[in-house]
Amino acid sequence: MLLAAEETSHAVGEASGWFIEHAWLIPVIPAVAFFLIIFFGKKMPRGGSEFGIASMLAAFAIAAGTAWDWIASISDHKKVAGNYEVEALIKQWTWWQSGGTEFGIGQHIDGLAVMALILVAFISTLVQIYSTEYVRGDRRYTHFFASLTLFSAGMLTMVLAPNMVQLILGWEIMGLCSFMLIGHWWEELPNAKAALKAFFTVRVGDMGLLVGTAMLLGIFGTLDIKGINELAAAGEFESKSMLMWAAVALFIACIGKSGQFPLHTWLPDAMAGPTPVSSLLHSSTMVVAGVFLVARIYPVFHVGLEINIDGQSFNLVAVIGGITVLIAALLAFVQNDIKKVLAYSTVSQLGYMMMGLGVGAWTASVFHIFTHAFFKCALFLAAGSISHTASHHSFDMKKDMGGIWRKMPVTFGVWMISTAALCGVPFFSGFFSKDEIIDSAKHYDYTVFYIVGIVGAFMTTAYMTRATYLTFFGTPRGGAAHFMGVEDHSAHDAHEVHGHSAHPEESEHADGHLPDDDHGHGAHGHDDHHAPAHHSRPLPFAPTDSPWQIAAPLLILGILAIGSGYLNAPALGIYWFEHHTESSIGLPIAHEEEGGEEHSEEAAAAEGEEGGEEAAAAEGEEGAAHSDDAAIYSVPAPPKFKWVNAAPGLGLVALGFVVSLGMSMAVFERKKNPFTPLVGLTQRSKIARGGHTVLVNKYGLDSLYENIIVRAVAYPISKAAYWVNQNVIDAIVNGAGKSGKQAGDMVYRYIDQGLVDRAVNASGTAASESGHAAQSVQSGKVNQYGALLFGAAAVGAIVLILTNA
Amino acid sequence: MEVLTNDNWILTVGTFLPLAGVLLMMFIPAAEEVLHKQIAILTSGATLAVGIWTLAIFDYDQSEKLQFFVNEEWISVIKSGYTIGLDGISLPLYILSMAVTFLVAIYTWNNMPDAGNPKSFLMLMLVLQVGMAGSFIAQDLILFFVFFEVVLLPMYFMIGVWGGEQRQYASLKFFLYTMFGSALMLVAFLALFFQTGGESFSFAHLYAEGASIADNTQVWIFAGMFVGFAVKVPMFPFHTWLPDAHTQAPTQGSVILAAILLKLGTYGFVRIAIPMLPHGAEEWAPVIGVLAVIGIIYGALGCLAQTDMKRLIAFSSVAHMGFVMLGISTLTPLGINAALFGMVAHGLITGMLFFVAGSVKHRYHTLEIKRLSGMLIQMPRLGWILGFAAMASLGLPGLAGFWGEFPAILASWNPNPALDQDLFRALTVIAALGTVLAAAYLLWLYQRTAFGEPSEEFSGHGHGHGAAHSLSAAANAHDDDAHGHADIHDVTPIEWIAWTPFLVAIVVFGVYPQLMFEVMDPAVSQLVEHVNAGIGAP
């Protein structure tokens, strides 16, 4: 026993370093900056954005230092012990106590937290820089930066949470900021509604978070993430079904936050917010919080839902993730708004992450959080760049875009790279993460989800090709035509709708961008208040592209949309990311295929690692017994990459590209090609038309929620409850009061006036009259009622005492 | 029970100091309105100063013990003494009552209700303060009852004289309903007194002896107290006086009612009913839990049906007090701590919401949600404060409201082992649904009143220019007066002075709840141990 204990303490290292020790500063700095912006922002020359950007840079610097420390700790430990089992560095200060139990606030630094910290701090910094140009001149400029900064503080608080309560704190602050930022232009009703819908839908899911946390406290007696993970992984709980329900409850929260089916409906509507918001909150960071939660307390889900148990081919997480992948991808085909395409794409990619976690591919899913953040953020920022510079604040691909690639080289280039990453084209970042999820699904015998994965990849490529074609190629239309300096040939049909400004918010206010003044409603219905002269300087090599505050973040993200993938590229034998995060899984990794047929293919580094582990496991009986125990609850090792396995997915991606490009040319440009016969199918075929209608109506989920459930609660049910209140409960109260008064009147008339008063003072008629007059005064009644009640109470008291004596 | 008796003058002074102000005001003619206001502010300020001194010398390491304890003869005929003391359970509420009265007095400076006569109004308010503070320090049932009833009359007059159009009905209903509860409560007190041998009304004695009363009798006595306290809380189905009283009361009355008066009921449960009758509490806990959760959902549905802003806030009190009662019904330290925290948080947050409602009424002369719109444009700061208070009210972590709700949910999933676990777990889930409904009614209220453009009626200009005007108004918020709409103005300096402490406290307690939990927890733990011993639970 003793030996084994020593063995473990040897095998598990500890993280150290100044930055790791002080990682709690990372959310504190933006939190302080938030208050500075609120109180002093308006007086600052740059409206408070300097506080925001400075705080994000500082947070990023510390996060980078923390990452450095973490990497150093890992490599130090690797040299000594031969594995990557580095303990998380946890620090907690008492935050509240109850019944002698103290609940802390502090930090929990491990690979997963470090990854998320650096991701959030980095992207927040870029988006804030981007925003200085994008929302320049906005009337709530200061508020905008305050909300962005508070959001970053909230998200950073969440990702380094050492316990569930702090996690909830960050989680809900993000929800608040999401509400404020979606509704940033709240003067327009649709924006206010979208904000409300987002907050409210997520809040429905949060019920699960509250109850699930209460369940965890009941099961494990602690809310510390470390404790929960260890106890769950060790099987130290009374009832597995209770753990299952806790996992289900918590997963409901993740469904809400991460836009999973069936609570995904808020996310596309959230595009009503300014584009930097969509890019930061609603694609790259906040919406992955649900995925992050599952990854954070993975043992709860893995054990509770029996993921990777032999013979399991479905589980809740995977099924929800899989459904989300497909339904969202389908919806992306019928969108005309470029941001909506990206929104559904985000939903779909979040589905991939969830599905990955559901099949046991923890590393791949977490890595997909990482890569997705860069390329999806880049895509949104590119969309914003187009709207800002080329399409006159429109996001409508069909009306106001087309052919703009020539004049926007940076935006176009970044878009293409990011799209390739999103589609999973080999050697772009998305390929390495997404392919590993798909590969794992196949490898761990979740065949259905393997198929979902490759079909999803096909659809992703197809809708992105469509969007890319509409946006950058073909004939310039509407705003883009104006920008490109060509005549708008699409005027004949597109202009019917939007030229006459019948629905102003559909065109110039497509993202809810309000004009500061009343002019600008020109013949084109465009909002001209962002005249080019108003803009900052563009980058020298792209003079017609967006200003540098927009273009520079795009370029950086574009580079990362390729580069980030090489941190974990199984195809090239790189497992760097995996090694630096695997201790966060909370479960041992079962290397079942050691010495198997593919062993030779593996990179030397990985071999060394496994060898070390093998040696550790082989030492002593206790050690062996321990690993046997752990084998009940362990995650399988990632599959070995083989191009053969990736081939079907890649084939479908290529097919998706070809089909979609052909269709796009046939439909949008009326070019004759093999796909021409399919044009107009929705007019000719009932089934196709029906399918199209279902998609346009978003499967009817919105109308189910808004017109049926919400409306029922808001109107008939609440009205009925209130009716009961007024006409039943209150009627009883009033009735009691009235009968009391009647009884009082009777007593007064017959007993008091009739007997007592007459007998005592027969001559006091005048006094009696004045008494009548006084009776109508309210206070007179009070005395009577009071006396009556006290009389009754006294009788009751006597009865009670007598019966119990 | 161990007690600390040093500096024991301070509670008596802190409680009765307002009477000095009342006495002084009696001799000053009613026409000297400014002087009356000054005296009231000074008196309540001095009271608060004593309160702060109390906070300073309170021994936090022994917060489970009664401190500043006094035990003097009072009415020896009925064996009732002047027994007072303060511990971690009562300290927050005691100080809160002082702070709220002081801030409400400041608010009254230029927000006197329409009926005028600040002399009587402020005198009543100071008397009210005596009753509230006294209820929290009393350690004797009769003394408690006296203070509890002292509260009733000033509030009755505040609603009845300075209230809205249906003030007569509302005030009478408030008075009678509470009186009805009080009557039963008194019966229960007397029964308890006689059942424990008729020796003393002091809490310490009743704590020690109450548990030995026959189980069945405990249940009956608890029933009497239950009705008395439940009316005050108010719990479903005894809540119908509340919306009327709140809606009709002047702003000051609503704030005090929400912030302090309702807490007398919940405090009564924690301080009197549960520890004195542990077995009764055990038997009644499921009933309380069920009614509490009904209150949460029902109150929220009631909110959704409202068309009047103030009435909506009043109904939200029913829901919030449901969370407090749910916490209490779990009979665990976690739950009762949550309840105590929830009491203070609800006092601050709902008090703030009533302040905002009062100010909206003052400016628009209506609280009809339909007619209000675009408040954020016309009064950006007030709009933000409303948003802030709404967020706090719906239980956003980082603000005080969360620490009343969330631990209550944790506790009700893990209630006292003597209680029916499955029932309470079902209640947890339903209560969690209440948090969703809270978000719904508060955000809906906010969307309808604060977002969008101001309605034609109040936008100040005729057709066509409405939007342009309001937009420029937003760009320059101080522009309103120029358009001849002087009555729709943003937060005034007096309002800032009265409100800032509320806003700061909501944030401070939300960010660092340990400030309060630290004080309450030892006392609550001791109390729950006592209850557990009484019901024979582990």
Please tell me if residue B225 touches chain A, with a CB cutoff of 8 Å: no
The closest alpha carbon to B502, from B311, B358, B300, B368, belongs to B358
Cα(A196)–Cα(B390) distance, integer angstroms: 13
- Residue B435 near residue B355, CB atoms below 8 Å: no
Q: Which residues of B touch A718 (CB under 8 A)?
A: 301-305
Chain-chain contact of B195 with A804 (C-beta, under 8 angstroms): yes
Angle between helices B309-329 and B421-449 (to 10 degrees): 160
Q: Which residues of B touch A97 (CB under 8 A)?
A: 514, 517-518, 521
Cα(B33)–Cα(B21) distance, integer angstroms: 14
Neighbours of B198 (CB within 10 A): 11
Cα(B538)–Cα(B521) distance, integer angstroms: 19
The residue of A158, A222, A725, A775 whose CB has the most chain B CBs within 10 angstroms, and thus the best one to mutate to test that interface, is: A725
Chain-chain contact of A725 with B224 (C-beta, under 8 angstroms): no
Contacts of B507 (CB under 8 A, 6+ apart): B398, B399, B400
Q: From the CA of A221, how many Å to the nearest CA of chain B?
A: 10
The residue of B89, B187, B516, B526 whose CB has the most chain A CBs within 10 angstroms, and thus the best one to mutate to test that interface, is: B187
pLDDT tens-digit map of A594-619: 444 444 444 444 444 444 444 444 44
For B201-205, the CB contacts below 8 A with 24+ separation are B201/B78, B201/B79, B201/B80, B201/B81, B201/B140, B201/B141, B201/B142, B201/B143, B202/B71, B202/B81, B202/B83, B202/B139, B202/B140, B202/B141, B203/B83, B203/B139, B203/B140, B203/B141, B203/B271, B203/B272, B203/B276, B204/B1, B204/B83, B204/B139
The phi-psi region of residue B444 (left if phi > 0; otherwise alpha if psi is between -120 and 50; otherwise beta) is alpha
Chain-chain contact of A733 with B305 (C-beta, under 8 angstroms): no
Q: Which amino acid is it at A659?
A: V
- Residue B206 near residue B139, CB atoms below 8 Å: no
Residue B224 has pLDDT above 60, yes or no: yes
Please tell me if residue B444 touches chain A, with a CB cutoff of 8 Å: yes
Question: Measured between CB atoms, which of A206, A218, A781 is closest to B414?
Answer: A218
pTM exceeds 0.90 for this model = no
Chain-chain contact of B443 with A165 (C-beta, under 8 angstroms): no
Residue with tokens 């009956």: B220
Please tell me if residue A788 touches chain B, with a CB cutoff of 8 Å: no
Handedness of CA A549, A550, A556, A557 (dihedral sign): positive
Residue with tokens 């342009």: B468
Question: Measured between CB atoms, which of B184, B436, B444 is closest to A203?
Answer: B436
Chain-chain contact of A210 with B439 (C-beta, under 8 angstroms): no
* DSSP secondary structure code for residue A519 in this structure: -
Chain-chain contact of A781 with B172 (C-beta, under 8 angstroms): yes
Torsion angle defined by CA atoms of residues A238, A242, A243 and A244, in that order, rounded to the nearest 10 degrees: 140
Angle between helices A429-443 and A447-472 (to 10 degrees): 160
- Residue B318 near residue B257, CB atoms below 8 Å: no
Range scoring the smallest mean pLDDT among A765-769, B120-124, B241-245? A765-769
- Residue A401 near residue A338, CB atoms below 8 Å: yes
User: What is B262-319 written as a DSSP string?
Assistant: HHHHHHHIIIIIHHH-HHHHHHHHHHHHHHHHHHHHHHHHHHHT-SBHHHHHHHHHHH
Q: From the CA of A359, how many Å to the nearest CA of chain B?
A: 29
Q: From the CA of B315, how many Å to the nearest CA of chain A?
A: 10
The answer for A 692-731 residues in CB contact with B (under 8 A) is 710, 713-714, 717-719, 721-722, 725, 729-730
Q: From the CA of A18, how many Å to the nearest CA of chain B?
A: 26
Neighbours of B390 (CB within 10 A): 26
Chain-chain contact of A207 with B433 (C-beta, under 8 angstroms): yes
Please tell me if residue B398 touches chain A, with a CB cutoff of 8 Å: yes
Chain-chain contact of A733 with B177 (C-beta, under 8 angstroms): yes
Q: How many CB pairs under 8 A join A and B?
A: 199
Chain-chain contact of A737 with B173 (C-beta, under 8 angstroms): yes
The answer for A 364-393 residues in CB contact with B (under 8 A) is none
Please tell me if residue B277 touches chain A, with a CB cutoff of 8 Å: no
Chain-chain contact of B184 with A796 (C-beta, under 8 angstroms): yes
Angle between helices A25-40 and A111-134 (to 10 degrees): 20
Q: Point out the residues of chain A with pLDDT beneath 70.
A: 1-12, 488-535, 591-632, 753, 755-805
Chain-chain contact of A192 with B452 (C-beta, under 8 angstroms): yes
The residue of B178, B238, B297, B301 whose CB has the most chain A CBs within 10 angstroms, and thus the best one to mutate to test that interface, is: B301
Q: Which amino acid is it at A651?
A: G
Please tell me if residue B305 touches chain A, with a CB cutoff of 8 Å: yes
Q: From the CA of B301, how many Å to the nearest CA of chain A?
A: 5
Cα(A358)–Cα(A368) distance, integer angstroms: 14
pLDDT tens-digit map of A756-788: 666 656 545 544 454 454 444 444 455 555 666
Please tell me if residue B413 touches chain A, with a CB cutoff of 8 Å: yes
Instruction: List the single residue in A with minimal CA-CA distance to B312.
Output: A722
CA dist B391 to A131, A175, A488, A781, B67, Å? 26, 11, 48, 42, 36
Please tell me if residue B524 touches chain A, with a CB cutoff of 8 Å: yes
Residue B422, Cβ density class (10 Å: 0-12 exposed, 13-18 middle, ≥19 buried): exposed
Q: What is the mean pLDDT of chain B?
A: 87
Instruction: List the single residue in B with minimal CA-CA distance to A168.
Output: B397
Q: Which residues of B touch A800 (CB under 8 A)?
A: 187, 191, 220-221, 224
Please tell me if residue B414 touches chain A, with a CB cutoff of 8 Å: yes
Please tell me if residue B537 touches chain A, with a CB cutoff of 8 Å: no
Question: Which pLDDT does position A636 carry in this prediction?
Answer: 83
pLDDT tens-digit map of B291-328: 999 999 988 888 888 888 999 999 999 999 999 999 99
The answer for B 164-183 residues in CB contact with A (under 8 A) is 168, 171-173, 175-177, 179-180, 183
The residue of B304, B437, B472, B524 whose CB has the most chain A CBs within 10 angstroms, and thus the best one to mutate to test that interface, is: B304
Question: Measured between CB atoms, which of A101, A192, A215 is closest to B447?
Answer: A192
* DSSP secondary structure code for residue A754 in this structure: I
Q: Which residues of B touch A785 (CB under 8 A)?
A: 176, 179
The answer for A 202-221 residues in CB contact with B (under 8 A) is 203-204, 206-207, 210-211, 213-215, 217-218
Question: Measured between CB atoms, which of B177, B303, B514 is closest to A97?
Answer: B514
